[in-house]
Amino acid sequence: MNKYPVVVGETSMVFEFIGEGINGSVSKLVIYSETHLHNFYNLGFGDKDVVTGDINDDVITNNGDSEKVLATVASTIYTFTDKFPEAMVFATGSTKARTRLYRIGITNNIEEIKEDFEVFGLVSENHWQPFQKGVEFEAFLVKRKMK
């Protein structure tokens, strides 16, 4: 799948790229954050705030490149799990609409994703199940398959 070139941070936990679309160039950030659970990381993603340099995951860019952006974000999971092979990566959208967009992206690429990752969806508080097409999930969890 077509994706943008990515600049990988020193720790392999911060990734930056430029999205190009109908509204011009937009800096994007992907940040993996440790949680209180061992080997459990949160994937944060959004536009880079030009003032603070932080992620703004509330803005709606509507740049016409969402598939390419999601493919780029997905590509960072490979780099991240190369460095942290035991990591479980948690992701959810900042809104229900964004979570739905992520679910569609996973659904459209599930066969390719499953070659390298185990994929789970959160159906209710603390109830994870293997990812299935057509199921509305609240969040997603991926873990690199050991080969």
pLDDT value at 147 more than 80:
no
Pairing of strands 139-144, 14-21: unpaired
pLDDT tens by residue, 94-146:
889 889 988 988 998 888 899 999 999 999 888 999 999 999 999 999 999 98
pTM: predicted TM-score of the whole model, two decimal places? 0.91
Say what the pLDDT of residue 1 is. Answer: 65
Taking the CA of residue 64 as centre, how many other CA atoms within 13 Å lie in the half-sphere pointing to its CB?
Answer: 6
Average pLDDT over residues 68-89: 94
